[in-house]
Amino acid sequence: MVRQRSGQEEALSEKDRPGKYDDEEPEEESSEEDMPEAEPETPAATEGRTLPTMAATEPYTEAAAQAEVPGEHRYEIVLLDCTWTEAFEQAKARGGYLAQIGSPEEFNYVCSNVLNTESSRKLKLWIGGARTAGSYEYHWANTDGTYGQEILNSGDFQSLWMTGEPSFRDDSINQEEHYMNMFFYTRENRWVWNDVPDDIIAVVNSYKGSVGYLCEYDQ
């Protein structure tokens, strides 16, 4: 489906402008796009962290790749068709939280060392960013119900978003978007952040089997 983009998107013709949920590329290209919205709840704070050294493994089953280094943060890719809210609660139940990426440098590190397989490039992964109703600022949602101070859609963080995002609402599906995920966007040949509704599969049924979340643990 083709989505309406906000005024901040680059001037692209309607013909060339990709839809938010229709990045189904030809066979040689993997099909990735972002996802849908819901209401924010919470994941954990990310201050003074040390960059982890990790590598994802295959194959992806129900609970997928895991990578860790003693004494530092550990990431786990969990493949599960779930909403952001469900992923948030499950990450807490696992003793972690939806991943919170503290800088563009950490983002690049995670992409290169955790999300570095062909299998991971086909996933749409929930991360811990969310916004509250009426707000147009994304923050890391903490497990205690609070939100971090960093504004994730401004400053250096803005370069991590898919072009034209966040859009806060998708008129083509008549839904507000309150949650963040990340996926490998083939049109830009990179991992990107995007804002989407809570239940992405309800919006894009073809995403079944490729939704999951990036869980982070404090070592």
Is domain 63-217 given the CATH code 3.10.100.10 in the classification? yes
* Nearest C-alpha neighbor of 128 from the set 84, 98, 95: 98
Q: Which of 36-50, 115-129, 175-189 is predicted with the least confidence, judged by mean pLDDT?
A: 36-50
Q: How does pLDDT run across 92-141, given as a tens digit for each residue?
A: 999 999 999 999 999 998 999 999 999 999 999 999 999 999 999 999 99
Q: What is the pLDDT of residue 25?
A: 45
Q: Does the pLDDT of residue 24 top 60, yes or no? A: no
Q: Does the pLDDT of residue 197 top 50, yes or no? A: yes
| Environment class of 179 (CB within 10 Å of its CB; exposed 0-12, middle 13-18, buried 19+) | buried
Q: What is the pLDDT of residue 50?
A: 31
Q: Which amino acid is at 92?
A: K
Q: Report the pLDDT averaged over residues 146-159.
A: 96
Work out the widest C-alpha separation in the chain, in whole angstroms: 50
Query: pTM higher than 0.75 for the full model?
Result: no
